[in-house]
Structure 1
Amino acid sequence: MLLLHGGGRTRGDWDVFAGLLSESGFRPVTMDLRGHGESGEAPWSWKEALADVAAVVDEVGLRRPVIVGHSLGGMVAALWAGEHPECPLAVNLDGHGNPTRPGQFFGLDEAAAARACQEMTSFLGEMGQGLSESFLQVMREIDALDLFSAYRAARCPLLVVSGDGTAFAGMFPEHLASAWEAYCAWLHHALKAAVRESPSVREASLSTGHDPHLEDPEALLRLLVGHLSRHNQAEWSG
């Protein structure tokens, strides 16, 4: 099982969860994504990030590994699912990105959605001030990614796991709290639609915030083992 960390994090994020995997009979492998940890600075692109993952898979001698990614790493895992039909399971842990267009604010009328998008984009831009240019490049790539198209393009089982999005509400000023809630509602409905439209996609939720592998690693392990068991049973039946 290859574990991919989130943006601004390192492979050390997985230490506790990797220990649980080892105790359960899995072989966990972690890596630092490009521009993170010990991987050194490198321009970010999804294509190159996927090539890095493939290089680690080959170098370590993994055969059909499960790919589990958190946040940024979860988006990489989702893209991996579109290129590797042999993968037994790809998992995106709460890697949903940020709202980038008015249509992502569920339940708001056109004018309110446009205003919410503008204000949210402005606030997130202010939060990004002071970040390194390399990290800002990662954020621009995230904003440009059509993640739900990637879900629908999955060629292997893909599990999208969401934490409790309202856990983020406290980071926004009061006037943006309802906008964030509308975005979380949109994510919920969009995921349900992706599951209906693609036989490869499944979604699940955990009662954690953004970091299920850190907040409740045991629950995450149970979730992943359950999905792998169901997939193996279905493959055997087929």
Structure 2
Amino acid sequence: MILAAHDHGGDGPPILLLHGAGGDMSAWNVVAPQLNGRCVAVDLRGHGKSPDGPWDWDAVLDDLEATTVQFGLDNPVVVGHSLGGILAGMWARRHPGCPAAVSLDGHRSAATDPANYAGLAPEQVEADLAKLNAIFTAQEEMITRPNREITSTLRNSPEFADALPIFAEVTVPFLLVLATKNLPVPPDLIPLMDAHRAGLRRDLPKICPNVRVHEIDATHGMVFEQPAEVAAVVNGFISG
């Protein structure tokens, strides 16, 4: 599939930029000019101006392969936000010669396996997950792009629920940037979000000792809230 994409130009190594679920390439409009490299941002299949198509992880990676050929990106660094961060890890696993990959708060869905939450009673986790999934279902019904097929596939995908096993298989330099603040949620779900973050802090050193972790004072929307800091962190990791 040929993806819609925008070449931001720039000097330095090629950088492929991948947005999050429900977003598009415009997510990188502020960050891309601050990155030290030639940046190309894409619309993933089913998003933005790219064509629709069934969500299959290998097929999505093939789309990205075609984009790198189309734009002449030779062995790019891959930087992704949220869903794009999961794909950055998958790309790095597929390309062991990749110079580096960065995931900006792309790791586990907010509604993941109950065992992935730390510091909250199991019965509270189950009750809060039911509330959170009800919110996601209501939101899904209102979204037109990506379509319901893609959103449903993602919500039920093991890779989307927990990408840490994928990250554990990455052998290239890999940075995971974690948000320290919660997105706006109903007050009664704040403990669940805190437990989600605590679970990541507990599990990352055990499951993914190969991954460098950096925390940033922002919510999951860090690309929009702290673009200069995000760019500085990415630039420092790539140059290092």
Aligned ranges 1:125-204 → 2 under 5 Å: 125-131=137-143, 132-142=147-157, 144-145=159-160, 146-166=162-182, 168=183, 170-171=184-185, 173-196=186-209, 198=210, 201-204=211-214
Structure 1 residue 70, shift from structure 2 partner: 0.9
Structure 1 residue 141, shift from structure 2 partner: 4.9
Report whether the alignment pairs 1:109 with 2:121: yes
Q: Percent identity?
A: 32
**9, 20, 23: which one pairs with 1:6?**
20
Match of 2:221 in 1: 211
Report whether the alignment pairs 1:48 with 2:59: yes
**Does structure 1 conserve the Cα–Cα contact (< 8 Å) formed by 2:20 and 2:83?**
yes
- CA distance in 2 between partners of 1:164 and 1:110 (Å): 23
Counterpart AA for 2:138: E
- CA distance in 2 between partners of 1:142 and 1:209 (Å): 23
Q: Please report the TM-score for the alignment, with normalisation by the length of structure 1.
A: 0.84
- CA distance in 2 between partners of 1:11 and 1:126 (Å): 25
Larger fraction in helix: 1
- CA distance in 2 between partners of 1:133 and 1:11 (Å): 20
Report whether the alignment pairs 1:19 with 2:58: no
The answer for unaligned runs of 5 or more in structure 2 is 1-14
Structure 1 residue 126, shift from structure 2 partner: 3.0
**130, 135, 147: which one pairs with 1:123?**
135
**86, 92, 106: which one pairs with 2:103?**
92
The answer for unaligned runs of 5 or more in structure 1 is 231-238
Structure 1 residue 32, shift from structure 2 partner: 1.0
2:38 aligned counterpart, secondary structure: coil
Counterpart AA for 1:152: A
Q: Please report the TM-score for the alignment, with normalisation by the length of structure 2.
A: 0.83
- CA distance in 2 between partners of 1:102 and 1:73 (Å): 24
**207, 231, 237: which one pairs with 1:221?**
231
Structure 1 residue 144, shift from structure 2 partner: 4.9
Larger fraction in strand: 2
Equivalent pairs counted in the alignment come to 221
**Does structure 1 conserve the Cα–Cα contact (< 8 Å) formed by 2:61 and 2:87?**
yes
For each residue in 1:27-64, what CA deviation from the matched residue of structure 2 results, as whole angstroms up to 9, or x when unmatched? 11111110111212111111111111111112212112
Q: CA-atom RMSD, angstroms? A: 2.0
